[in-house]
């Protein structure tokens, strides 16, 4: 027989005694009564324990509404023009907002992280600056091996900014340290492919450009959301232990460059002068050439005219040629002695008194210019023209007698 068989009082498992021969009633659960009691107690505490239940209920509802409004208002946020707001819902990326006022579901449903994308950040490789802007060397970053197996000490400063706030926050765990390691790796790769002289002298700009390009490619591959704006080479020199020897090499190189520049300057100075002298001599030679040709043509034309005159009057022309020849021979002297058939004494003609001052003898100078030679010849002709004409007149009168 079952322990809870109907009709037997005291054997109801819910503790209900039989009534009118054990009636069919639903069991009474004490748990529901306890929950109701707890809710009533909470309402009483919320209402401040007032005796007026209706007024207390209205006040609790108002407070609850204020709390809800404040909670909703906590989702309002403002993004500055230089910033980006990254909205996450339960930790997962939802949206990226730009400048202006925005609203999101309040915490703990959604959250907003503000990222400054216009801020210029700096990473120092090979050194560290303190608050007083004093640089301290970091040898494990600055010492690098070159292609020709030399060691150089390099220090660079990298300036960068956030290009993608989403990638900066979620794609890479530590984007800023990652950038430092990427730039250092790129610098070591570029230096390892270059010679020491190239890195320390004329190749500085090329090294910096290659480092920036290579580092940016790797940052994009790692989706760090960072953009390198500039790479500045702060210092490039050999290690401290060999700086004295390297300074001597640099000084010798500078002396060589100085001597080359001085030689080029002297060459640029002397060549125009030599070219000018050569051009002047060519012009003088051309002028002498033209002068000789013109003189030869004049002599030829004069001889032709004399021949034609000689054919017309041979005797007269012969005497005239004789007189001209004697005039040319005696034209350079200031004294002439003339013999006479009537007397034994020689006739002395004081031509020096007739001409005036003493005559100057002109000797050709091979080093003078053609223009000076022509001027000297003309002056000599002018000087001797007067005695020549006197001699010619005298001889002509004598011949006529």
**CB-CB neighbours of 183 under 10 Å:** 24
pLDDT tens string for the chain (401 positions)?
A: 344 444 444 444 444 444 443 333 333 444 445 545 655 565 565 555 544 455 556 777 888 888 888 888 888 888 888 788 888 888 788 888 888 888 888 888 878 888 888 889 999 998 888 766 667 788 888 888 888 888 888 999 999 999 888 888 888 888 999 999 999 999 999 999 998 888 888 888 999 999 999 999 999 999 999 999 999 988 888 887 777 777 787 788 889 999 999 999 998 889 889 999 999 999 999 999 999 999 999 988 888 888 888 888 888 888 888 888 888 877 776 666 665 666 565 555 565 555 554 444 444 444 444 445 444 444 444 444 444 555 556 555 555 54
Superfamily of domain 121-238: Band 7 domain (3.30.479.30)
CB atoms within 10 A of CB 334: 17
Taking the CB of residue 38, how many other CB atoms lie within 10 A of it?
10
Q: What is the three-class DSSP state of 375? A: helix
CB 224 within 8 A of CB 178: yes
Q: List the chain domain ranges.
A: 76-116, 121-238, 243-312, 314-400
Distance between CA 202 and CA 144 in Å, rounded?
Answer: 18
If you ran DSSP here, which 8-state letter would residue 2 be given?
-
Q: Tell me, yes or no, if the pTM score tops 0.85.
A: no
Contact yes or no for 200/152 (Cβ under 8 A): yes
């Amino acid at each position: 027989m079952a322990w809870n068989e109907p009709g037997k009082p005291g054997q109801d498992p819910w503790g209900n005694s039989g009534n009118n021969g054990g009636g069919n009633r639903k069991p009474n659960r004490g748990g529901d009564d306890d929950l109701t009691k707890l809710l009533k107690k909470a309402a009483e505490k919320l209402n401040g324990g007032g005796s007026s239940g209706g007024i207390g209920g209205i006040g609790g509802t108002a407070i609850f509404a204020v709390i809800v409004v404040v909670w909703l208002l906590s989702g309002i946020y403002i993004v500055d023009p230089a910033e980006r707001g990254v909205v996450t819902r339960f930790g997962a990326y939802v949206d990226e907002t730009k400048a202006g006022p925005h609203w999101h579901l309040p915490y703990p449903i959604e959250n907003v992280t503000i990222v400054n994308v216009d801020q210029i950040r700096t990473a120092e490789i090979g050194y560290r600056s303190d608050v007083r802007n004093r640089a301290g060397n970091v040898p494990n970053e600055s010492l690098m091996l070159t292609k020709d197996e030399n060691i150089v000490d390099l220090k660079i400063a990298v300036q960068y900014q956030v290009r993608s706030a989403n990638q900066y926050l979620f794609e890479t765990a530590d984007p800023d340290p990652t950038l430092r390691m990427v730039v250092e790796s790129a610098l070591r790769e570029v230096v390892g492919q270059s010679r020491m002289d190239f890195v320390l002298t004329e190749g500085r700009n090329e090294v910096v450009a290659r480092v920036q390009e290579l580092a940016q490619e790797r940052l994009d591959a790692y989706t760090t959301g960072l953009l390198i704006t500039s790479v500045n080479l702060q210092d490039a020199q050999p290690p401290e232990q060999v700086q004295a020897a390297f300074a001597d090499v640099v000084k010798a190189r500078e002396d060589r460059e100085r001597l080359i520049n001085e030689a080029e300057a002297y060459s640029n100075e002397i060549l125009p002068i030599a070219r000018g002298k050569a051009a002047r001599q060519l012009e003088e030679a051309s002028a002498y050439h033209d002068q000789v040709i013109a003189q030869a043509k004049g002599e030829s034309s004069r001889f032709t005219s004399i021949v034609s005159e000689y054919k017309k009057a041979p005797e007269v022309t012969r005497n005239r040629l004789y007189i001209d020849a004697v005039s040319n021979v005696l034209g350079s002297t200031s004294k002439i002695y003339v013999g006479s058939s009537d007397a034994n004494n020689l006739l002395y003609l004081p031509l020096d008194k007739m001409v005036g001052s003493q005559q100057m003898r002109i000797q050709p100078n091979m080093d003078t210019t053609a223009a000076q030679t022509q001027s000297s010849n003309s002056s000599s002709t002018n000087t001797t023209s007067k005695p020549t004409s006197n001699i010619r007149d005298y001889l002509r009168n004598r011949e006529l007698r």
